[in-house]
Structures are given as C-alpha cells and as structure tokens.
A and B are shown apart, each in its own frame.
Chain A
C-alpha cells in the first residue's frame, strides 16, 4: 500500500454539488497538507494541519474546508463546487523537522462541469 493514499483518483461533479476528497497516511506523520495544482501556477497550499487539533488556512482556502478525523486522515471538502475549482489536488504529509520534506499522494483529478 502507498504511504499516502488519496481517494478518489478521478472525479467529475456538477456545479453546486458538495464533494469530499479523502487522504489517509501510514507514515505516522503529524503534519498533513492539501495542495492544488493548476497548469502554469505550480502548487498552491489550501489547508494544513500540524496535529488533530490544529487546522490552518493556506493561501487559497476560500471555497474549501477540511476535517482532520485522526492523525492518519485529513479530508478536503468543496461545499459548493464551481468550475474554476477544476484542478489536480494533492495531499502530503511531513515530519516536524526542517530536513524531511514531504511525502505526496498520487493526487485526485477533479473536474467541475
């Protein structure tokens, strides 16, 4: 099994629908992150969590919410999806050190029509 698992891998949804993207990890890391990737814009941070009781907004949190259900699980929700939220979404985890870097999931490709 992958260290960081994202589900679903692909999803097409309609404008206005609520959708949840899920992320689970077996790394035992405290820190988890959600990123969005758009062509030409690189990676942008949506939300991050340093432990179960600590949730923080990233640079583009509007229109998104998150839930940290356990150390190993971090979900991203789009309350009312809109077409410009069509993107590739990545979950990542890390240790609490400067040197470790992140471990990424394989991504969820979301299309809002």
Chain B
C-alpha cells in the first residue's frame, strides 16, 4: 500500500536558518503530493502541492519539488521565521481503487524556530 515517510523531529532552528524537511513516499499509482502545516491549536492547512513529476509547489517562501526518480518531495525554505514554528505533514493522494483518492499522511515533523 501507499506510505509516506518524513524525517522525525523535533527540529529546532535559529531564525533566518535554512530549512529542509525530508519526505519520501511509496505509491502504487501516480500520486499527487502535498505539504500541510498545523500551527499550535489549529487544524491542518494546505501549504503547497504538486500533481505531476518535476512540478514545484511553492507558498509563503516554502518550496517542494516532486521527484519521481527518487520518490521524494522535500520541503525547503531559505530563511525561517519564528512564525514558521508548527508541525509539518507530508501527504500523498493516490487512486486506491474505485476513485477513492484518499490522503496518506506522514507522522509529522515539529519545527521550532528560536529568535
């Protein structure tokens, strides 16, 4: 079945540091890939997505490129801010049969950015 593996946290960075959160996936079909962000006390929000190989999703300074050859979708940001402190989830959507297209999530990576 489908699965998503993302780096375990927590990750602690100083403000303005470079961020990478690794995400790799296993899928039987041709999935779409997503990054969600969960700020403290809130629900998950879609951060960015990519629906085909070599697509780059971007939003709020975050980027991730859909790499089919390495089955990866790593999240990057060049200069993190304290306000980026949150839990980040990588996810994929694949056709599990009969058009189900359910999301499979990684376990989340908690990021803390210190001033």
Contact = CB atoms under 8 A, between A and B. Distances in A.
A41 B106 CA distance: 9
Q: Is the interface of A mostly helix, strand, loop or mixed?
A: strand
B103 A102 contact: yes
A36 B107 CA distance: 12
Interface string A80-107: 0000000000101010111101111111
A48 interface: yes
Interface residues of B, number: 25
Residue from A42, A96, A106, A107 having most chain B Cβ neighbours under 10 A? A42
B24 interface: no
Contacts of B42: 106-107
Interface of A: 4, 40-43, 45, 48, 50, 90, 92, 94, 96-99, 101-107
Given A90-B44, A98-B93, 6 more contacts: A42-B106, A43-B44, A101-B103, A102-B44, A105-B43, A107-B43
